[in-house]
Structures are given as structure tokens and as C-alpha cells.
């Protein structure tokens, strides 16, 4: 690029960045001042049609589902409250056989609804326009909370005399109150038979960060269907409401300069545009990867039909049929009356997709990102658009794909290195106080890096102390005056339907075993040896990770071999290996028994997707991954699903106040004997002539 044209390019970039103040594209919230979204053609969702069997339901299709249910005889007098309307995906065999241009398998919807306190699970055939399946209360539990549930429960306390009296006694104006309904969990038969929530309140006086101003000890148990306050608990009148000082985290509210050298603007410039493309709304093609990407009401983001191109013959090969975050378990470690129930299942109780607000351009996602909307249903069954909830972008942070240099000890003068450019699909769910960032990152060497970032606000407990007299007696450390950061965990269980070169796969535990050398055999006394064991049944594949009993965990296709005779495969490289330490008979752990192991392997079953069960809210743990796996079904050389639980123990600290710096962990899915050799050996290095030469005026 010539210097003049490049300077023009830089000037235009800066002009766009600092002068244009845009509003969100189809969004109801405003971005940070001074930023605008990348130009992207608006999508008329009302006219959309599906292009792939796994495409989510369109606006037209959701409207059709509502019409079908309206004339369905059991709902002829009273239309149920809709909690989810999602694509009932075709059988896997049908999807694998389908090719572009073929007729679609029948389009179907799965509906989770409530009527008269009962859970209804319905299957709707959109082509025949009829309900083909209807189960009532198929397991314990209820569908996830709807936005109407949350809104109504938040208002319920204000009509309660005891509540209003308590608030007045604390000197808080009702206009400064925000009340939120955390899920009630399940703690025995006395809490069954009704849909209930626990309502907690905060003061938003002088700050938008009301999470840091809890009204401690004030808890109401509310019946979600009648909106009656079933139980009123007020144990914290002696605990002051923490002050609002320094709680506002917004950029415009900061009055002091940051105590650091300022950073100059930074961006990845792509003068020729991104290297990826999105076809038919959901098919992503980049480098050697092809996959299907969509938004999901519950999982947030779903990756399907993942294929990578063979580095030798160019053929597309199957890697993964479907991957997504199946459940998110967050237990807090405080036995107080206003805290013991806080053990959330964020996907099954609130929905990671429903909680995914529009992403912030240039901050959540860089320039040249592609944004994707979600199409979901309201409580009355009408479609609505959740805008910009997924972004897709290329990332280059100066990492290296591979390198080697020679010259110190030989005549070769070699300096070979390759830059690592990756493709990222991202969504971010704001589930109440916490924000969860999910990244699926694809590398050209065949590796998939799955990351989860935790940010947002701590769930804090009011305290009478300004300084901790005895932290061991508290449920967490003081993070600010009158504020305790309660110790808690985060566990994310991923559903990974790996199809390595096809569906017939096996799970192999490659255990590293220490062995002693024989007398006189070697100066060495001990060494490690890799011993492979193929799991025959589900219980063989229930794995608790152990630092001093290391293994690699491979998914292989025993019928597909490399030229050297090795079965083609992928392995999981664990990260975030925190494990749940709760007793197995503790009610929260009964419901989240899928975290009892870090690894599970089950036979593929279309109905077994949600680790916490289809109906999670107030469930008793009778329909979970742990229950399914106890059947001990055969998994050798079968169509199998790999489950991995990523874990975080969180002991809060002062740096987490008033908003947390992001903490990230993840795991990798890495090819093992899948390629014949390094698949990016022939990748081109970067050359200066290929890049724009943009210099500041000081260096020009």
C-alpha cells in the first residue's frame, strides 16, 4: 500500500473512531460515548427463511408455532405462559445426510410452557401444523424464569405491609429501591408444589451499582404464580447499608485520572477486510474451517457441524457435531438465612441467551466484527429480536503459530516463524450481577480453544465492620467498608458431541504411569510410560482430574487410521480444574451432580443435552447428566458425547470492587494424529510489503 493511501486510510479510521457517535444497530441501549458499530447491512428478520436444518426458528416460524398452540384443544380456553420456543432439531442422521439444495427435514419446534402450575413440554410440527408430542411434568422442576416472572416478582414486595414497614425503619425511600428475584433452589419436600423465588433488595441512591448497596437480611419468598409473599425474613436491621462512595464504575463518572501512562489507541487493521465470511446467515467459513453458528435462548451460543480441511488432500473432515455450554452452577458458601439458597443454575434458570445483552463495539468486539442476532419468544409466544448477541472476528495479539531458528551451532542461518491469527465466536451473558464471556476460538492448526471469562459485580453481603476483626469467622473477606465478598464457585459444564471423522468414536484414557528401572538397566531410577485404556462403558469414563495421576483424554475414531496406523483423534487439554467440594447429599450438589466429575462420556441421545435436566428450576436432580450416566451404557466405538466441567474457586479480594477485572480460564480441543504432519507447515509468513504502513505524525 502506498504511503499516501495508507495515511488516508489511517485518517478515515481515526475519523470514524472519534467523530461518529452512532446508536446501536437495532439496539435499545447506548454504547460508550464516541463509538459506533461497524457498518453491517440490517437484516429484515420478518422475511427470513431457514437455509440449513440447524438454523434457528425464524420470526415467521415462531408466529406459526403460536398460531398452532392457539388452536390446540388443551389450550383453547387459556393460552399457556411460554418460556421457550426453540428449534426441535432433526435427527442427527438426517442432518448429516443433508446437502445444500436437498429438501429440508421437517421443521419442528420444542415448546416449554406453564399452565395452572404445571410444566408442559410440547413438540410442534410446523409443516403439518399440529402438536405431535405433549408431556406434562415429565420430571421435577419448572422451565427457566421468564422476563415477566422476574419483573412481577421484583414488584411483589412493595404491596407487603411488613416489607414497607421494614424499609421505612431503615430510612430508605421506596423510589431508591431495586428488588431482584434470585432463584430459590430446592431444599426438600417442604419447598415443593409451588414455583417460588427469593426476593432481595438494594439501594440505588447515588449510584447505578446497586449491587454494592445490599439491604442485608431482608428476604421475601414469593409465589411466582400468585405473587403472594409466602415468607418474610428480616434479620439484618443492625447492618448498615454500604455507602455509594466509589461504586459507580461508568467511565463518565470517574473524577480522578488513572495512575498509569496513557495508552494510545490500538486496533487490528484489515484493509482488505476480514478473511472469514458468513453464508446464508449461519455458515461460517474461514481458513481451513467450516461450521454452523447460532444464538440459543438457553446456551447462548451453539457451534455445530464443525469441519476442518485436510492439509494434504483438501477434503473437509468432521471434528464436532455440536458444542455449547450446557449448564452453569454457582454455589455461595454462607449458611445465613438470607444466603444459604444462593446456588444458581444460570443456563437452566435464567438462560445464557436471554441474558445476553447487545455487545459493545470496539470494547466487547474489535473492528471488522460480524454481529449476529438471536430470535426468541416472549411469554405470550410472540417473536422478539435479541440484537448483536454474538460477534465473530479475527484475532492477532502477536502470538506465534510455530517457529525455529538455527545458527549458533551449525552453518544453517534459519529464522522461521509464523504469526498466529485465529477466529473467535463470542457472546457475553449478563446474568444479574455477573457477566460471563464465552469464546470459541479456532486455530489454523486444527485446535479449538474454548474460554470463559468472569467479570461484572460480586454478590456481596452487608457487614457491620469497616475492618475485619476475624476473617476466619466470616463467609469471605471484606472488600470494602461494610461489604463482604462471599466465597463461591463457578462451574461450567460443556456438551461436546465430538464426531472425529464420523460418529463412531471411542474414549481413551492415556495414563502416565511411573515405573522403576530394573537393577543395572540404566543410571535412571524411574521413568514415565503412557498406557492406553479404551473406556467400555460410561462409568469407565467418569474422570476426576488428579495432579499426581496424570492422563491425556482422547476421543478417537478406531476405524480411521493415519498412514502410520494411529487412530485419528482429538484430545481435551484441561484448564480451570477446580472441583466442587460440597457433600454429594447437599441439596445444591444433588441438583448439580454433573460437577461430581470433570469428565463424563455418554452415548449420543438427542434428549440428553442439558446437564442439569430439561426442567432445571426447583428441580430435585432427578434428570441430570449424573443420573443418565449411572445407566453405564456401552460407549466403545459408538456415537458418543464428551462432557467437560470447567471450574473456578473464587475468594474475593479488594481488587474485585466495585467491578471485577475479567478472570479467564478454558480448555482446548487439540488434534492427535488427526493430520499426517504439522497442518500449517506450508502457511505463509508475514511480510512488511503486505501490511499498511501507518505512522504517527511524530515518526513520519
Q: Is residue 264 part of a domain?
A: no
C-alpha cell at 149: 416472572
- Under a CB-based contact definition with an 8 Å cutoff, are residues 89 and 53 in contact? yes
Alpha helices in 46-91 (DSSP H): 59-70
Whether residue 193 is found in the same domain as residue 105: no
Q: Is residue 30 part of a domain?
A: no
Q: Work out the burial of residue 556: count CB atoms within 10 Å of its CB; fewer than 13 is exposed, 13-18 middle, 19 or more buried.
A: buried
- Under a CB-based contact definition with an 8 Å cutoff, are residues 146 and 81 in contact? yes
Whether residue 132 is found in the same domain as residue 166: no
The predicted pLDDT at position 560 comes to 97
H or E segment to which residue 98 belongs? none
Whether residue 516 is found in the same domain as residue 547: yes
Q: Is residue 371 part of a domain?
A: yes
Q: Return the active site residues.
A: 346, 434
Whether residue 399 is found in the same domain as residue 542: yes
Q: Could you tell me the pTM of the whole model?
A: 0.92
Furthest-apart CA atoms within the chain: distance in Å: 88
Q: % helix / strand / coil in the chain, to the nearest 5?
A: 15, 40, 45
Instruction: In whole angstroms, give the CA distance from residue 197 to residue 618.
Output: 10
Q: Which of 433, 238, 235 is nearest to 338 (CA)?
A: 235
Give the position of cell 467498608: 481
Phi and psi torsions of 632, nearest 5°:
55, 50
Whether residue 172 is found in the same domain as residue 107: no
Give the position of cell 410472540: 382
- Under a CB-based contact definition with an 8 Å cutoff, are residues 221 and 231 in contact? yes
Q: Is residue 28 part of a domain?
A: no
Q: What's 561's domain CATH number?
A: 2.70.98.20
In angstroms, what CA-CA distances link 402 with 411, 417, 429, 543? 22, 6, 34, 32
Q: What's 77's domain CATH number?
A: 3.10.450.40
Q: Percent of the chain having pLDDT more than 90?
A: 84
CA end-to-end distance (rounded Å), the chain = 16
Whether residue 539 is found in the same domain as residue 672: yes
Cα–Cα–Cα angle for 411, 417, 422, nearest 5°? 165
- Under a CB-based contact definition with an 8 Å cutoff, are residues 422 and 394 in contact? yes
Whether residue 378 is found in the same domain as residue 241: no
Whether residue 337 is found in the same domain as residue 287: yes
Handedness of CA 337, 343, 349, 350 (dihedral sign): positive
Whether residue 301 is found in the same domain as residue 362: yes
C-alpha cell at 259: 495512575
The DSSP call for residue 368 is T
Instruction: In whole angstroms, give the CA distance from residue 137 to residue 615.
Output: 9
Give the position of cell 542461518: 413
Q: Is residue 568 part of a domain?
A: yes
Whether residue 290 is found in the same domain as residue 353: yes
The whole domain housing 186 covers: 147-249
C-alpha cell at 211: 449491587
Please report the DSSP string for 396-445 in residue order.
Answer: -SS-EEEEEEE-SSSS--EEEEEE--EEEEEEEEEETTEEEEEEEEE-TT
- Under a CB-based contact definition with an 8 Å cutoff, are residues 184 and 341 in contact? yes
List, in order, residues 6 or more apart from 305 with CB less than 8 Å away.
54, 95, 290, 291, 292, 321, 322
Instruction: In whole angstroms, give the CA distance from residue 22 to residue 35.
Output: 7
Instruction: Please state the domain count of the chain.
Output: 3
Q: Which of 105, 109, 107, 141 is nearest to 122 (CA)?
A: 109
Whether residue 215 is found in the same domain as residue 343: no
The DSSP call for residue 688 is G
C-alpha cell at 485: 465478598
Q: Which of 660, 276, 260, 182 is nearest to 455 (CA)?
A: 660
Instruction: In whole angstroms, give the CA distance from residue 680 to residue 671.
Output: 13
Torsion angle of C-alpha atoms 564, 570, 571, 572, degrees rounded to 10? 170
Cα 11 from chain centroid (whole Å)? 37
Q: Is residue 142 part of a domain?
A: no
Q: Is residue 12 part of a domain?
A: no
Q: Is residue 434 part of a domain?
A: yes
The DSSP call for residue 457 is -
Residues of the chain with pLDDT under 50: 1-38, 697-700
Amino acid at each position: 500500500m502506498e504511503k499516501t493511501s495508507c495515511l488516508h486510510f489511517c485518517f478515515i479510521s481515526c475519523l470514524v473512531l472519534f467523530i461518529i457517535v452512532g446508536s446501536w444497530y437495532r439496539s435499545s441501549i447506548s454504547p460508550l460515548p464516541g463509538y459506533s458499530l461497524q457498518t453491517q447491512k440490517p437484516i429484515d428478520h420478518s422475511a427470513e427463511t431457514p437455509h440449513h436444518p440447524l438454523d434457528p426458528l425464524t420470526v415467521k416460524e415462531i408466529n406459526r408455532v403460536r398460531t398452532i398452540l392457539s388452536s390446540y384443544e388443551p389450550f383453547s380456553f387459556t393460552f399457556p405462559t411460554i418460556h421457550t420456543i426453540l428449534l426441535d432439531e432433526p435427527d442427527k442422521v438426517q442432518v448429516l445426510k443433508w446437502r445444500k439444495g436437498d429438501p429440508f427435514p421437517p421443521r419442528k419446534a420444542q415448546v416449554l410452557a406453564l399452565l395452572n402450575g404445571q410444566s408442559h413440554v410440547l413438540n410442534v410440527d410446523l409443516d403439518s401444523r399440529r402438536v405431535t408430542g405433549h408431556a406434562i411434568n415429565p420430571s421435577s422442576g419448572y422451565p427457566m424464569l421468564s422476563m415477566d416472572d422476574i419483573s412481577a416478582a421484583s414488584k411483589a414486595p412493595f404491596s407487603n405491609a411488613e416489607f414497607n414497614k421494614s424499609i421505612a425503619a431503615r430510612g430508605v425511600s421506596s423510589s431508591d429501591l431495586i428488588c431482584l428475584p434470585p432463584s430459590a433452589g430446592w431444599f426438600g419436600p417442604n419447598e415443593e408444589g409451588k414455583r417460588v423465588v427469593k426476593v432481595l433488595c438494594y439501594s440505588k441512591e447515588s449510584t447505578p451499582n446497586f449491587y454494592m448497596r445490599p439491604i442485608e437480611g431482608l428476604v421475601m419468598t414469593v409465589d411466582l404464580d400468585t405473587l403472594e409473599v409466602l415468607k418474610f425474613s428480616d434479620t439484618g436491621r443492625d447492618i448498615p447499608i454500604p455507602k455509594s462512595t466509589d461504586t459507580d464504575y461508568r467511565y463518565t463518572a470517574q473524577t480522578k485520572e488513572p495512575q498509569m501512562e496513557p495508552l494510545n489507541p490500538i486496533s487490528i487493521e484489515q484493509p482488505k477486510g476480514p478473511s472469514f465470511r458468513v453464508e446464508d446467515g449461519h455458515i461460517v467459513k474461514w481458513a481451513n474451517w467450516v461450521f454452523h453458528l447460532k444464538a440459543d435462548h438457553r446456551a447462548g451460543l451453539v457451534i455445530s457441524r464443525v469441519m476442518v480441511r485436510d492439509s494434504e488432500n483438501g477434503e473437509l473432515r468432521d471434528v464436532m457435531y455440536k458444542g455449547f455450554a450446557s449448564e452453569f452452577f454457582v454455589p455461595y458458601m454462607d449458611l445465613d438465612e438470607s444466603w444459604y439458597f444462593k446456588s444458581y443454575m444460570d443456563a437452566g434458570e435464567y438462560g445464557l441467551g436471554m441474558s445476553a445483552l447487545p455487545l459493545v463495539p470496539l470494547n466487547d468486539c474489535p473492528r471488522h466484527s460480524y454481529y449476529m442476532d438471536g430470535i426468541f419468544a416472549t411469554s405470550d409466544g410472540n417473536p422478539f429480536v435479541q440484537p448483536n448477541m454474538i460477534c465473530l472476528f479475527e484475532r492477532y495479539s502477536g502470538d506465534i503459530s510455530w517457529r525455529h531458528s538455527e545458527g549458533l551451532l551449525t552453518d544453517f542461518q534459519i529464522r522461521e516463524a509464523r504469526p498466529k491469527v485465529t477466529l473467535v465466536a463470542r457472546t457475553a451473558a449478563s446474568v444479574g450481577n455477573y457477566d460471563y464471556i464465552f469464546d470459541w476460538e479456532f486455530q489454523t492448526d486444527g485446535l479449538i480453544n474454548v474460554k470463559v471469562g468472569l467479570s461484572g459485580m460480586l454478590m456481596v453481603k452487608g457487614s457491620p465492620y469497616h475492618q475485619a476483626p476475624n476473617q476466619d469467622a466470616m463467609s469471605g473477606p471484606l472488600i470494602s467498608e461494610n461489604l463482604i465478598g462471599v466465597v463461591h464457585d463457578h462451574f461450567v459444564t460443556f456438551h461436546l458431541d465430538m464426531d472425529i471423522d464420523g460418529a463412531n468414536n471411542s474414549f481413551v484414557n492415556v495414563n502416565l504411569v511411573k515405573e522403576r528401572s530394573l537393577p543395572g538397566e540404566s543410571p535412571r531410577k524411574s521413568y514415565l510410560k503412557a498406557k492406553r485404556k479404551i473406556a467400555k462403558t460410561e462409568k469407565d469414563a467418569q474422570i476426576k482430574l488428579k495432579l499426581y495421576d496424570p492422563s491425556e483424554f482422547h476421543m478417537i475414531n478406531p476405524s480411521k487410521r493415519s498412514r502410520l496406523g494411529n487412530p485419528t483423534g482429538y484430545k481435551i487439554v484441561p484448564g480451570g480444574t477446580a472441583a466442587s467440594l460440597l457433600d454429594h447429599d447437599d441439596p445444591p450438589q444433588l441438583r448439580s451432580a454433573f460437577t461430581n466429575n470433570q469428565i463424563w462420556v455418554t452415548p449420543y441421545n438427542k434428549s440428553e443435552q442439558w446437564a442439569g435436566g430439561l426442567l432445571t428450576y426447583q428441580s430435585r436432580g432427578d434428570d441430570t447428566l449424573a443420573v443418565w450416566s449411572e445407566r453405564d451404557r456401552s460407549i466403545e466405538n459408538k456415537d458418543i458425547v464428551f462432557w467437560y466441567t470447567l471450574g473456578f474457586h473464587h475468594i474475593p479480594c479488594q481488587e474485585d470492587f466495585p467491578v471485577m477485572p475479567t478472570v479467564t480460564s478454558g480448555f482446548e480441543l487439540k488434534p492427535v494424529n488427526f493430520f499426517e504432519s504439522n497442518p500449517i507447515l506450508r502457511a505463509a509468513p508475514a511480510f512488511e510489503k503486505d501490511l499498511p504502513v501507518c505512522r504517527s505524525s511524530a515518526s513520519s
